[in-house]
Amino acid sequence: MYHVRIGVNLYPSVGGSGYVATRLGQELAHKGHIIHFITYQRPFSLMWEQTRGVHVDLVDRFDHPLFTSVGSPYTMALTSKIIKVTKDVHLDLVHSHYAIPHAMAAYMAREIVGVPYVVTLHGSDVHTLGQDPAYQPVVQHTVEHADAVTAVSEFLKKKAHEELGIEREIHVIPNFIDTSKFTPIGGVRLYVESGCVGLRKEAEAIELHPEEKILLHASNFREVKRVVELIEIMRIVVDHFPKARLIIAGDGPTRIEVERKIEALDLCNNIHLLGIKSNMQEIMCSADMLLLNSTLEGMPLVLLEAMSCGLPVVTTPAGGIPELVRPGKDGMVTKGFEQEEFAQAIIELIEDEAKLKRFGQAGRKRVEESFSAERIVKMYEKVFEDVVSK
C-alpha cells in the first residue's frame, strides 16, 4: 500500500479502544504512513514514547457561561480540528475509534471538506451506549454512512447488524498485541501491600513468592467487569488454597465497593490492589493465571496481553471472548456466569500444573499466529487502501 496521511480521533485515556488506536497509529507510522492523533490530550500510550511520523493535534477547548450546565460542545470542536488538520496537511482519511462521538465528528468533517472516514466499533458503542435513545439515531446514521466500518469481533458485528440496525458491510478486524513487547520473562517478583486500607504500610510491603499461587485481574473496575464478584469468588478459592493471592491492577467506579468487600470477607492478606500500572508485562509474568469474569466484552486486550506473556487465563463466554480463547485449548472458559463455576475453574487449574503450563504455551502460540501486530495492521491497510482509491 502507498503511504497515506491518516487523522485518528480517539479517547486518549487508558481504555482499550484508545490503546488500540494509539498502537495501530504507531504501527502504521513504522510502515511509513503519517499519523495525526486528533484528540483533547496526548494519548496515554504515547507518554513515554516518541514515534517518527506521529503527530498529536489537540482539540481547542473554549469555555463559556452558556456551557456551564451542558458542558462544552466537544463534537463541534473536534470536527473543527479535523477540518483544520485536513486543510493543513491534506489528510487522506480519518479513522474514528469508538463511534461516540467520533463518527459524528468525522461525518460532519466529510460533509464540509470531503475527507472520507472509517469507523472502528469497539464495544459499548455498539452493545450499550450506542443503543441508548440519546445516541442511537446519530450512531446508526454516521456508522451506516461511513466510507468503511470495522469491528473488533464477530460478536460486535452481529450486535451492530441486529440491535443497532446497521445494514452495511462491516469488516471484522480483531484487536492485536505487540508480541515482542508482551513476551514471557522469568524471575519477576512483586512487592504488594494489604488489600485493606487500614493495614497498608509502605515498610511492610509483602514479597510474593513463587510457591504461592498468584492470580491476576486487570480492568477499569466498571460494573460489567464484576470485580466485586471476583472478591467473592476468591473467598471460595482461598477456602481451598489459603495461600492463594489475587493481585488487581487498575482502578475505577467500583473501587470502594471492592475494598469494602475484601475487608468484609477477611481477605486483606490474600488480595492486593496495585492501582493503575504501566509495567503490565512484568506483572503478568509474575502471576500464575489471569482472571476475567466479565458479563460483556468486545475483544478484551487484557486477555491478548496475558496470553502473549504465556499466562494461562480463566474467563467467561462474554461477547467476543470465545473468538479469542478457545475453551479447553487456550484457556478455561466457563459455560455460564455463576461464581461457583468460575471458582471451580480456578481451583481445577491450580491443581493441574500440566494444564496450567499447556494453556500458557497454547495461548502464546494462539496470539502469535492470529493476533500479532504484523498480521492485523495489514488488514487495516487493506481497508484504508480501498477507501482512498475510490
Residues 69 and 166 in one domain: yes
- What number is the average pLDDT over the span 39-50? 79
- How would you label 68-91 residue by residue, b for 16+ Cβ within 10 Å and e otherwise? eeeeeeebebbbbbbbbbbeeeeb
**The length of the chain, given as a count of residues:** 390
Cell of 268: 486483606
Of 291, 301, 289, 292, nearest to 351 (Cα)?
289
Q: What is the pLDDT of residue 205?
A: 64
In this predicted model, what pLDDT tens digit does every residue of 156-166 receive, in sequence order? 999 999 999 99
Residues 162 and 296 in one domain: no
- What number is the average pLDDT over the span 26-46? 92
Q: What is the pLDDT of residue 190?
A: 73
Q: What is the pLDDT of residue 203?
A: 46
Separation between Cα atoms, residue 21 and residue 380, nearest integer Å: 11
**3 state DSSP class of 291:** strand
Of 292, 133, 139, nearest to 227 (Cα)?
292
Does a structural domain hold residue 240?
Answer: yes
Residues 116 and 74 in one domain: yes
Domain that holds residue 41: 5-176+372-388
- What number is the average pLDDT over the span 228-238? 97
Separation between Cα atoms, residue 240 and residue 255, nearest integer Å: 26
Does a structural domain hold residue 198?
Answer: yes
Number of domains in the chain: 2
pLDDT > 70: what percent of the chain? 94
In this predicted model, what pLDDT tens digit does every residue of 80-96 receive, in sequence order? 999 999 999 999 999 99
Residues 201 and 139 in one domain: no
Residues 56 and 78 in one domain: yes
Does a structural domain hold residue 183?
Answer: no
Nearest 5 degrees, angle CA 345-CA 350-CA 355?
85
Residues 95 and 130 in one domain: yes
- How would you label 210-222 residue by residue, b for 16+ Cβ within 10 Å and e otherwise? eeebbbbbbbbbb
Of 28, 388, 291, 41, nearest to 176 (Cα)?
28
- What number is the average pLDDT over the span 291-319? 94
The domain spanning residue 114 has which CATH number? 3.40.50.2000
Residues 382 and 364 in one domain: no
Q: What is the pLDDT of residue 195?
A: 56
Does a structural domain hold residue 283?
Answer: yes
pTM reported for the whole predicted model:
0.88
Residues 88 and 12 in one domain: yes
**3 state DSSP class of 273:** strand
Q: What is the DSSP letter of 206?
A: E
Q: What is the DSSP letter of 168?
A: S
Query: Going by C-beta distance under 8 Å and a sequence separation of 6 or more, which residues neighbour residue 250?
Result: 217, 218, 219, 220, 221, 274, 275, 276
